[in-house]
Amino acid sequence: MTYVGLPYLGLGKEGALSPVISMGYENIDNEELLHLSLEAIGSARDADALDMLKTLVERDPGHLHAQYLLASQHAQIGLLDRAEDGFRAAAGLAPTSFPMPRFQLGQLLLLKEQRGEAIEVLTPLLDETTALGCYAYAMVALANGDTPGAIRSLRQGIQEPQPISELANDMKRLLSRLELPEPDSTVDDTGVASLLLSNYSRH
């Protein structure tokens, strides 16, 4: 990842300037507000994090990391439609060197059973010879009903260098579920869905 301190989860209101900006954060610049929101996320202060991130997005809709973090917060609290909008915005802003918004969007679409679009979103990541690329390949394999392919890709991904330790842990958890002696549809529908939700939790 290219932004130091940005968690792996690992849109603001439209219209006029928010009263929050004029009353609470007018003397805090965007860089300070971003760091304060990261601190709030790390301290499990969800309301404060949402407040600051929405303020930051209202100030600067093109702020990549604010859009990504706000989408992650929305996903974590179960507002999946808002999370999808936010991840789409972040993916549209992100350079290829920061693939996490696209990856999270693909996972979210898979969770929402929009499998065709999930495959389309994740496909550009399949060329990456990284742990993330392997994980994306596993997601696409699952979307296509190819559990053996997902298992092979996860095994390969676990062997790759792991710049994000939480990503490795998620791959191991998913692999353990897929390798159950008698896998059935609940592994794909319930087990995988709950794991995808865990990706938006604090680690």
pLDDT at 119: 96
Residues 82 and 43 placed together within one structural domain of the fold = yes
Residues 124 and 150 placed together within one structural domain of the fold = yes
The answer on pLDDT for 9 being more than 60 is no
Residues 203 and 122 placed together within one structural domain of the fold = yes
Residues 186 and 149 placed together within one structural domain of the fold = yes
pLDDT at 127: 86
The answer on pLDDT for 50 being more than 70 is yes
Give domain status of residue 105, yes or no: no
Average pLDDT over residues 72-77: 92
Residues 62 and 30 placed together within one structural domain of the fold = yes
| Dist. CA 187–CA 172, nearest whole Å | 14
More confident residue, 167 or 82: 82
Q: How confident is the model at residue 191 (pLDDT cuts 50, 70, 90)?
A: very low
Give domain status of residue 104, yes or no: no
Domain that holds residue 71: 1-98
Residues ≥6 apart with Cβ < 8 Å to 33: 25, 52, 55, 56
With a pLDDT cut of 70, the percent of the chain lying above it is 78
pLDDT at 24: 75
| Dist. CA 118–CA 110, nearest whole Å | 6
Q: Which two tokens stand for residue 55?
A: 């303020």
Worst-scoring range by mean pLDDT, 4-13, 16-25, 162-171? 4-13
Residues 75 and 37 placed together within one structural domain of the fold = yes
Residues 188 and 126 placed together within one structural domain of the fold = yes
Give domain status of residue 127, yes or no: yes
Give domain status of residue 107, yes or no: no
Give domain status of residue 146, yes or no: yes
Give domain status of residue 103, yes or no: no
Give domain status of residue 56, yes or no: yes
Q: Which of 39, 66, 98 is the last residue of a domain?
A: 98
Are 7 and 41 in contact, with CB atoms under 8 Å apart? yes
Number of domains in the chain: 2
Cα 50–Cα 80–Cα 4 angle in degrees, nearest 5: 50
Q: Which of 69, 98, 127 is the last residue of a domain?
A: 98
The answer on pLDDT for 6 being more than 60 is no
The answer on pLDDT for 189 being more than 50 is no
The answer on pLDDT for 45 being more than 80 is yes
Coil, helix or strand for 201? coil
Q: Which of 45, 65, 98 is the last residue of a domain?
A: 98
The answer on pLDDT for 21 being more than 80 is no
Give domain status of residue 106, yes or no: no
Which CATH number goes with the domain that contains 82? 1.25.40.10
3-state SS track over 29-54: CHHHHHHHHHHHHHCCCHHHHHHHHH
Residues 10 and 53 placed together within one structural domain of the fold = yes
Q: How far is CA 98 from CA 65, 79, 102, 117, 167, in A?
A: 10, 24, 9, 20, 15
Residues 20 and 81 placed together within one structural domain of the fold = yes
| Dist. CA 189–CA 203, nearest whole Å | 23
Average pLDDT over residues 115-125: 96
pLDDT at 136: 96
More confident residue, 87 or 9: 87
The answer on pLDDT for 52 being more than 90 is yes
Residues 118 and 154 placed together within one structural domain of the fold = yes
The answer on pLDDT for 93 being more than 90 is yes
DSSP code of residue 183: -
More confident residue, 38 or 162: 38
pLDDT at 183: 52
